[in-house]
């Protein structure tokens, strides 16, 4: 069974998105989720899949907004 590099990127993307839901700290969750989404963007580009690219770029932008622009009030 041969796994190609595109599949490896897809599996990594899925792993990071799945792992992100194990964190209770929302900042850590968003960072790990963003890594997974970035892998999904690469995966989507390799597959030429516009829905995968658009969805994960949107999630990256939302995560970026909450991580860098909207700071939590302490």
Burial class (CB in 10 A: 0-12, 13-18, 19+), 14: middle
- pLDDT single digits (tens) 16-46: 999 999 999 999 999 999 999 999 999 999 9
Q: pLDDT tens-digit profile of 41-70? A: 999 999 999 999 999 999 999 999 999 998
- Residue 13, pLDDT > 70, answer yes
- Spatial distance between the Cα atoms of 25 and 7, rounded to a whole number of angstroms: 30
Residue listed under structure tokens 């999904």: 40
The radius of gyration of the chain from alpha carbons, rounded to an integer in Å, stands at: 13
- Would you say 35 and 19 are in contact if contact means Cβ atoms under 8 Å apart? no
């Amino acid at each position: 069974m041969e796994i190609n590099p595109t599949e490896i990127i897809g599996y990594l993307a899925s792993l990071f998105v799945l792992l992100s839901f194990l964190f209770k700290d929302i900042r850590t969750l968003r960072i790990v989720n963003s890594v997974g989404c970035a892998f999904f963007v690469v995966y989507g580009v390799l597959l030429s899949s516009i829905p995968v690219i658009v969805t994960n770029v949107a999630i990256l932008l939302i995560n970026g907004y909450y991580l860098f622009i909207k700071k939590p009030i302490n």
